[in-house]
Amino acid sequence: MSINKKIYIAGHKGMVGSAIERLLRYKGHTNIITMSRNDLDLTSQEKVNQFFKQERPEEVYLAAAKVGGIHANNTYPADFIYQNLMIESNIIHACYLNNIKKILFLGSSCIYPKDASQPIAENQLLTGLLEPTNEAYAIAKIAGIKLCESYNMQHQDKKLDYRCVMPTNLYGPGDNYHPQNSHVIPGLIRRFHEAKVNNLPVVEIWGTGKPRREFLHVDDMASACIHVMNLSSKKYLTEVRSNCSHLNIGYGKDISIMELAELIKKIIGFKGDIQNNLSMPDGTPRKLLDVRKINKLGWFPAISLENGIELTYRNFLENFE
């Protein structure tokens, strides 16, 4: 892996993009391009084309996206589908126009059907209906996978190598702790912390607490992304097909939301009770990714869930207290 190659990280201020940048710099890379949202509007085709024509990076990590939890996805579906379609379409097409051969597109495990069999293998994509609460976001991410596959297939003469990874639920430094628009781990960390500080008797969790989820620390996700980007084409193609070219990235184990709440309660030191708000949706009953392919390609997570949440809580205290 050459440390001198020119790398562009789209979405470098987001949770995953910032983790990728941190790890690349730790590995000695200095020729890294980043652009803030104010400097480059990724939903503008003209501005994105101009940027790639000028910079011509050798590799692109496409981590830029509009993201949010169940509440945000339910409230702003048009924003989620439009902005994500525009970002990925503009970047992927601009790479093609400028003969940039290496892209790693980051999707989401919500691309899979709501009732997919568990654990979810990559070939279950497009085999059933999506979870309605994040359908718009999922469709945009599916389109990104198919964009990469379509450019690879149609332009084989250019030897494009556009790869896709689908992470499970991520958490860690740089997460969003908004009271309504956050994902489950940062949302629970904030709620339990505020309840502890304010001596509240109860913390409420949405739904029944029965759904099971898999969680991966964002630093593990970054290591997986860099691992996949740097696999030889020969090795990468041992586990993917031209029309099913994405790889699941996950921890390999899941936990119920109630078990997760109890774990976060213990780590934060909240002494009160947990109460279920049954008026709020559960979302998908279970979502555990089949990670045998990425494991066969030599990548495994290094951070346990408990250690990861402890690290995340410390980061929350440093940045929000």
- Euclidean distance between CA atoms 306 and 49, whole angstroms: 43
Which of 112, 137, 162, 313 does the annotation list as catalytic? 137
Contact 187, 69 (CB under 8 A): yes
Residue 96 among the catalytic residues? no
Catalytically active residues, by annotation: 137
